[in-house]
A and B are shown apart, each in its own frame.
Chain A
């Protein structure tokens, strides 16, 4: 997708996701711009996480999940027949909603990704670990005790450890699913500042429920909403659609769709 705003790292084209043949998200088209933060917002259950996880094929891990349409990355469709999800995930990293460090030392947490890439040299690993933890603004807090279990850190520190772990392999894109939702305001602020730093080097997609956060950190925002339909038999069918996509300022100051406006004013969701 060519736009005036520079290159896209990822292009979502007519993406549909199904869980066990039930449509969860319909027809999503979003460009993810390079070195920008793109935020996904929308009411609960509208499919933000689902779309996010389709970007690095994490959905493959869910039995019954199926993606249609195209996710273009370097002009290759990530859902092409011949694509190896393992390779995809080495290039497109992910940070999860709940901090999930491995039950291992801080050092081993961060060194895990590089080791997977076959890097074994101790000095190189030391360098990468230090650079990544510094990059996640965690260094000063843990530098004296890298042997400590990652689980012994506070929630905010754990999440920064997870970010350090992700940037240790220098992915092209970092996907973050509500990375600050489990954290207190101070830790949240630290993560937000970190994202603004990281975006100088990385492309970031973030899912958030917090409208202020989206406004503070993101450059582009995609608003998802829910469609409903009555099925025969009185049952309701719900699925998510892309409601509106625009540069963040524009979407919040001047939403085109009435639904977006109602959502950002806090009338539903």
Chain B
């Protein structure tokens, strides 16, 4: 009876477009929406592709690494053991010596120099932008950082060999500074990472609540005292997270070191920043760029290096996110 009242009143087109039961009451029961379900699975599949990427990385790197460690030499001995891999100071694939230390050393050296540049400058730039610059100045300065962030790393590499290296040689003398050296690569890498650290730190600084600043000014602190005693400590975890991401970028950076740091592993103790030395990434790039046969120890060794690099950067990134998340909770 109610049904009559309502359905009868609809215009014909609409009434026709809706489905009703035999008694004329609206049908609101579930019906199969195959297309919607299908789409849902397609989209889920898209999401799963990214999981397969990670899985692919782990499996590929892991499997080839295992191959390296299970390769036997002429005497039936493993060519390299885990211990040798991590603790021996010679990497010479031709001589079946696979000690990661010389590569790791120069990786850490370039990263160290890079952070020496990027951390103070990036943080300084962030403080200037978030605490001192007027909105107009900030509006015109930030694009410059964005441009720096958008320049391809191969261009930075070119800059290192054609500008930074001659500059270093000019300052310290050609006798001290070899053409390929970790200092030049590290310095330019620092410029490359600067925008990352600046923008992440700026986010951290601007997340510090207003009332904290006001409280500090209320206690008659100067601007710099407010920054150094109140704002920086409050944003510290965000800044630390930025620095860790910066390190991870530096460790994984390839093109700058491939062009400027040198070809050939070089274990220097104490570290010498002015001599050529190959980093992990530089080595992978150089060896795989040549004619590399697939079933060789050399090939496997690249993946072992890649695995070490992957684990290292993943750890850094996870650490950075853990710190950021804790920091966020602290203010909510």
**Which single residue of chain A is at the shortest CB-CB distance from B2?**
A7
**Which single residue of chain B is at the shortest CB-CB distance from A35?**
B5
Q: A82-B30, A87-B27, A87-B29 are in contact. Are A170 and B14 (CB under 8 A)?
A: yes
- Report Cα–Cα, A172/B26, bound state, in Å: 10
Considering the complex, which residues of chain B in the window 27-50 have a beta carbon less than 8 Å from any beta carbon of chain A? 27-31, 33
Residues in A neighbouring B10, C-beta threshold 8 A: 170
A83 touches B17 (CB 8 A): no
- Report Cα–Cα, A114/B12, bound state, in Å: 12
Closest Cβ of chain A to B5, distance in Å, is: 6
B14 touches A83 (CB 8 A): no
Which of B2, B11, B17, B30 sits near A74, CB closer than 8 Å? B2
Give the interface size class of chain B.
20 to 34
Which of A9, A114, A128, A169 sits near B6, CB closer than 8 Å? A9
- Report Cα–Cα, A84/B26, bound state, in Å: 12
**Of A96-104, A116-124, A143-151, A250-258, the one touching chain B:** A116-124
Main secondary structure of the interface of B (DSSP, over half): loop
A117 touches B28 (CB 8 A): no
- Report Cα–Cα, A90/B6, bound state, in Å: 14
Which of A7, A73, A117 sits near B14, CB closer than 8 Å? A117
Give the interface size class of chain A.
20 to 34
Residues in B neighbouring A9, C-beta threshold 8 A: 2, 6
Q: At the interface, yes or no: B94 with Cβ under 8 Å from chain A?
A: no
Q: At the interface, yes or no: A4 with Cβ under 8 Å from chain B?
A: no
Q: At the interface, yes or no: A196 with Cβ under 8 Å from chain B?
A: no
Residues in A neighbouring B30, C-beta threshold 8 A: 82-84, 87
Q: At the interface, yes or no: B147 with Cβ under 8 Å from chain A?
A: no
Closest Cβ of chain B to A115, distance in Å, is: 10
Which of B11, B19, B25 sits near A75, CB closer than 8 Å? B25
Q: Most B CB atoms within 10 A — which of A74, A78, A91, A128? A: A74
Residues in A neighbouring B26, C-beta threshold 8 A: 73-74, 87, 91, 172
- Report Cα–Cα, A9/B6, bound state, in Å: 9
Closest Cβ of chain A to B82, distance in Å, is: 47
A73 touches B6 (CB 8 A): no
Considering the complex, which residues of chain A in the window 33-79 have a beta carbon less than 8 Å from any beta carbon of chain B? 34, 73-76, 78
Closest Cβ of chain B to A223, distance in Å, is: 26
Q: At the interface, yes or no: A88 with Cβ under 8 Å from chain B?
A: yes
Q: At the interface, yes or no: B18 with Cβ under 8 Å from chain A?
A: yes
- Report Cα–Cα, A91/B14, bound state, in Å: 11
**Which single residue of chain B is at the shortest CB-CB distance from A90?**
B18
- Report Cα–Cα, A82/B21, bound state, in Å: 15
Residues in A neighbouring B28, C-beta threshold 8 A: 73, 76, 78, 83-84, 87-88, 91
Q: At the interface, yes or no: B1 with Cβ under 8 Å from chain A?
A: yes
Closest Cβ of chain A to B313, distance in Å, is: 34
**Which single residue of chain B is at the shortest CB-CB distance from A203?**
B6
B18 touches A91 (CB 8 A): yes
Closest Cβ of chain A to B141, distance in Å, is: 33
- Report Cα–Cα, A74/B6, bound state, in Å: 10
Q: At the interface, yes or no: A154 with Cβ under 8 Å from chain B?
A: no
**Which single residue of chain B is at the shortest CB-CB distance from A116?**
B17
Q: At the interface, yes or no: A189 with Cβ under 8 Å from chain B?
A: no
Q: At the interface, yes or no: A201 with Cβ under 8 Å from chain B?
A: yes
**Which single residue of chain A is at the shortest CB-CB distance from B7?**
A172
Q: At the interface, yes or no: B9 with Cβ under 8 Å from chain A?
A: yes
**Which single residue of chain A is at the shortest CB-CB distance from B15?**
A170
Residues in B neighbouring A117, C-beta threshold 8 A: 14, 17-18
Q: At the interface, yes or no: B3 with Cβ under 8 Å from chain A?
A: yes
Q: At the interface, yes or no: B219 with Cβ under 8 Å from chain A?
A: no
B29 touches A7 (CB 8 A): no
**Which single residue of chain A is at the shortest CB-CB distance from B12?**
A124
- Report Cα–Cα, A118/B3, bound state, in Å: 23
B14 touches A172 (CB 8 A): no
Q: At the interface, yes or no: B171 with Cβ under 8 Å from chain A?
A: no
A170 touches B11 (CB 8 A): yes
Closest Cβ of chain A to B23, distance in Å, is: 9
B1 touches A114 (CB 8 A): no
Q: At the interface, yes or no: B269 with Cβ under 8 Å from chain A?
A: no
B13 touches A124 (CB 8 A): yes
- Report Cα–Cα, A176/B97, bound state, in Å: 77
- Report Cα–Cα, A88/B13, bound state, in Å: 19
Closest Cβ of chain B to A150, distance in Å, is: 21
- Report Cα–Cα, A153/B167, bound state, in Å: 63
Residues in A neighbouring B14, C-beta threshold 8 A: 114, 117, 128, 169-170
A7 touches B31 (CB 8 A): no
- Report Cα–Cα, A34/B4, bound state, in Å: 12
- Report Cα–Cα, A201/B8, bound state, in Å: 11
Residues in A neighbouring B25, C-beta threshold 8 A: 74-76
Q: A170-B11, A172-B6 are in contact. Are A119 and B17 (CB under 8 A)?
A: yes
**Which single residue of chain A is at the shortest CB-CB distance from B25?**
A74
Residues in A neighbouring B29, C-beta threshold 8 A: 82-84, 87
Q: 9 A–B contact pairs at CB < 8 A?
A: A9-B2, A34-B2, A74-B2, A76-B25, A90-B18, A91-B18, A91-B28, A117-B18, A128-B14
Binding site for A on B (CB under 8 A): 1-3, 5-6, 9-11, 13-14, 17-19, 25-31, 33
The 6 closest A-B pairs by CB, nearest first: A117-B17, A84-B30, A87-B28, A74-B25, A170-B14, A7-B2
Known A9-B2, A73-B26, A84-B31; 13 more pairs at CB < 8 Å:
A7-B1, A7-B5, A74-B3, A84-B29, A86-B33, A87-B19, A87-B27, A87-B30, A87-B31, A117-B18, A128-B14, A170-B10, A170-B14
